[in-house]
């Protein structure tokens, strides 16, 4: 293993601070939390017998969001 070179280490850390100039990041706007209306609509569609994937496509939500709404509803029923 090579000997530690503080000058080279410092140069490397400074280069990391300049990366954004060469590789600009594009930020994706995230939706975040779904509204209570959407939660009620998901529960309504689940009760009507729609599959999670169908609900996700219809409401333009991630399938994991639909799953989480259903899981939370089932947990609330069990307690």
pTM: 0.57
Whether the CA torsion 47, 43, 54, 51 is positive or negative: it is negative
Q: What is the pLDDT along the chain (79 residues), one digit of tens a residue?
A: 678 899 988 988 888 888 878 877 776 666 678 888 999 999 999 999 999 999 999 999 999 999 999 998 888 887 6
Q: Which domains does the chain have, with CATH numbers?
A: 6-78 (1.10.10)
Token pair for residue 52?
């999670």
Token pair for residue 57?
């496509």
Least Cα distance to 59 among 76, 75, 43, 72 occurs for 43
């Amino acid at each position: 293993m090579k000997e530690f070179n503080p000058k080279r280490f410092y140069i490397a850390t400074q280069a990391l601070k300049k990366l954004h100039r060469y590789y600009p990041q594009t930020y994706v706007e995230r939706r975040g939390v779904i509204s209570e209306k959407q939660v009620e609509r998901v529960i309504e569609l689940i009760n009507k017998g729609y599959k999670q994937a169908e609900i996700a496509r219809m409401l333009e939500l991630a399938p994991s969001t639909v799953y989480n709404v259903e899981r939370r509803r089932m947990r609330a029923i069990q307690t």
